[in-house]
Structure 1
Amino acid sequence: MTDTQTSVVDEDDRALKAKHRAMWASGDYPALASDLIWSLGPHLIGAVGVQAGDRVLDVAAGSGNAAIPAALRGATVVASDLTPELFDAGRRRAREAGADLEWREADAEALPFPDDAFDATVSCVGVMFAPHHARSSAEMLRVTRPGGRIGVLNWTPEGFVGRMFATMKPFNAPPPPGVQPAPLWGDDAHVRELFGASVTDFSAVRETVTIDRFDTGRRFREYFASHYGPTIAVYRRIADDPVQVAALDAALDELADAMIADGGMQWEYLLVTATVR
């Protein structure tokens, strides 16, 4: 690749990352994480086996639902994210919990940490949204010491959140070349390929989290359209087309209504843990 081509690629990548940052800064993802999925962070940290004294990196940490539980176990923790606008809510939550950790702006595809810097590197429904999966997985491997642990928890393509993204796809702009769908990180074979021979003790388990906040599809859709960056972005794109807006409303309502049961919605995720060679 020539220098000119490299410059264009770099500029395109910067523009894409800026778009991602703005998307996740919109709405109120920290409130959503607190309201719906905070329990997933401690579950991931427990599965990885984080202990007091461990050096832990949380990649695409958001407001810290994995980083804070790791710090409460006595680990030395860095919570990193492309969108530092999410950190203020995380810092407040950490103070309330009595957790001490570092918050660091960082691109998951170019982590600003040296090789072998951490005993454990984790991500809870975060790194899956980095656009180039091979880059971000390679970075997680690079910064984790040999014998250290990697743990990722991601929505599956077949589960509710994966189906929500599939529902929104026809209303969204086509992704740039080379950008991979986030829910692929919830596919066992895909994650095995990403980490490959660089890890041992690879484990991938499908589990679900119960979401009992919504009693109708409409209430789910209204909440996500005001809180969740990817949903907000799609609605903004079609805001001037009332037919498209009505069609997306109906599609999301139908999807959620079909999933709501007496015990609440069941959202499936893939929990992966592995040891770095």
Structure 2
Amino acid sequence: MTLVWLDDLRLDAEVAGPPSAPPIVLVHGLGLDGRLWQSLLPGLTGHRVLRLDLRGHGASDAPAPPYAMGAMIRDVERLMDHFALKEAIVLGAGEGGLIAQGLAVKRLDLVRGLVLTGAATRFANPSVWQVRLARLHDAGPDLDAECAALLGPRWRTSPAQAEVRAMLETTRRAGWAGFASAIASADFYRTTATLRLPTLVLAGADDRRTPPDLQRELADLVAGSTFRLIRGGSHLPMLTHADGFLPPLRDFLSAIGHLQT
């Protein structure tokens, strides 16, 4: 990945695939980075794929917190403009799903469809986030608790545990607090309900952070969306259950004609 210089910060990003291929944009969640998608990339050949590290995450710059959700949406928007990507499928994981939803509402010329996994229109009440922000400020993230939430009760023996912990450890405290502050006040229920574009919601059956029933409610909110459950899937099924994640994703891309001709 390479640092892209924007007006006020540098974001680590990579675009791969034929320039004329239909684009897919991959947006990770809190505490993670662009490495999240590594297992998925071989299944996306034939597409123009943009993956990135959000501000405060991975190798991207980490401005002082708090961050605004609008600024984080704008970051992805600017990267898409930088790489001349339009009519893309935006795949948002976890809290990155908020960015995907906000971008679709703001820039329908950039977003042709959405794929959301581990996502919702909001994540807990602001009071819950205030407690979490106070803990982040005082002691930083509890990496064991984060791994357990992301990978499930058997996280210690998960083959993905080392990868997930490496991403969590890379995220600077400013990134944790900045993104968390943006999530705390975000509620996209009303705006997401206005969307009328192809949408796939892929839920891990064993997702403890964003239960499948909550993700089904998100799917019901967008007219004509599709909901698929990944058997045994965690909050990060693209990493832990790529074999179950790719087939419904490919079916969705095929159904809407988002394929190279």
Assess same fold via TM > 0.5.
no
Query: What is the TM-score when the length of structure 2 is the normalising length?
Result: 0.31
Larger helix percent: 1
Higher Rg = 1
Query: What is the TM-score when the length of structure 1 is the normalising length?
Result: 0.30
